[in-house]
Structure 1
């Protein structure tokens, strides 16, 4: 390698050094191999301005041995001038300490690449036209700031990895809670769930389908305020309560009343929005109740699209006192398509929600002759969220 490199063992003995390292430090193999790193390179006692360069190296090596993770820094360590005893040349280095992990998972070696950055540090300081007396101090300060910036960068990467792990846990939890056994009995129903991609955390969207007595069934979607594991957990509990309520009461408004009362007693559940619709094939009727949610859409085979917005109540638990939920009925004919969704499908920043609703209706009208699964994919693609959006998206499409 063209860069100066050495390998040390966990006991800090130097076990190998390449030619570039020998040339850069002015040492021979005999002076380095088999010696303790800090015996071979003691602290710069002759240079008080060095500010503990080798102490930084020792701390960095200790971190690598303790964590098994790469570490780096920048330091000042002068080297002897060849043929001039007692004379030293100022040098700045940027060593990178890379652990080599053994079969037992422990650090077996540490590979140290030490790039000479003297020219870079000097040019940076000289470009500021510093007086000669301030040059060394300013270089030391810049090196320290650079070192801290590298540490902050590493910390930021660790935090990002932690957030990604939390997001994966939340997505897995959410997918488990969205299992819908009754869905298998309805080949003319398509569902889609897309986690948000512009944030590190998932949100609290859900969908559900429940078979009721006779040939009736209900579909619903909802959206919990907030992000991350807490929102996903709240979503799971609210969805379960609503699932049980609609099975027992078989009336969308009554089921949402139960859910509203439950939300008032649960931290993180207030202002959740939800819409529940019951499909009654025998009477050709959709009965729906809406608590602060974007309205369902009913698309006819000829492309006409209606919004079911006759009654819309406030979000769950938003009123100071409990008030019964309202509901409405709407007739449908065979071949119509019922569409329920969460706001991530239609809302865009700095855009009125009516614009998003109109865009949705236009997309549904254009592709209304497709199967529910094809229609779901076409709508997501046309609205630009096939790969996910800035918010979670739940979508359920029912061919009636």
Structure 2
């Protein structure tokens, strides 16, 4: 806790009526937000609820200017909210974020829609659900809708389109299907889709930056329909510069293949830890790295639950596939280091060396004989694979993966 001079004010601690002292939350101080508590004990007691405030990133509601004021373009009103932050690559956030999009009241809302708190119990979150036939059919419906939404958003990807416009398209497509976009306000995430551009590994927040010819962008769609969540994502090329960039093609197509190979390996009895061995072996064969921080997960009535499904080799994941389980595999593969760093918005995860990264994800159902890909591409789905030359032809077969 940092010391700071303050005028008399009330402590924001849980059920606390005391005046605040000069003890300030260090995270709030870094964000430029005033948050003073009466005592260290009160701060500790209130931490679980208080920390959710750190996730709120919509500047139209509670953005506080940093000590070094970001220069606002007088014509557009756009700005970088973190002008002194040491970004790892060339990408920059472009604010202000658009106002929070609303979901009509006739569509059921999850618990976090009000205050950002999922309210998952420890026991439920760590229990692997085995779905009966009714629940499996419910998952099929939810995943079918999510595929439709992703295809609609993916078809809109082109140079000049902002990621905020993609968020609006996703949000409206979910509403048209009487579905709640699962990410919206989940742990205070401010948008309805994750849009991860270039060096962003995952959890990119849609903003005012237009996509550029030569970018790649991952679109991660999740929705909640009749009590069941679905989850899938794909990485798309933006413009011809991206489609003709051999390094980007190697990255994107190898990542797509990593997911396909992992799914081909799946069947009842297979250990969850085996997928990482399959994925990393193929990624390394193309001189690419595999992110270790994030993993696949169980999904059905919970947005994120057991099991954890790591994507790197020699992991310690527990459990084996059993019929009736639903879960995701979603490898994140990098051109350089597998290590990550998070922007000050507490969401946007980027590669530590600023090099590009790609991801693909499906929601899967374990059947008695194998795997059903609930979010499978359709014949007319936009995007899709393009020809990948061998690593030997491109001269990348022996390229080492950075560990820095």
TM-score (norm 2): 0.23
TM-score (norm 1): 0.23
- Could you say which structure has the higher helix fraction? 1
Larger Cα-atom Rg = 1
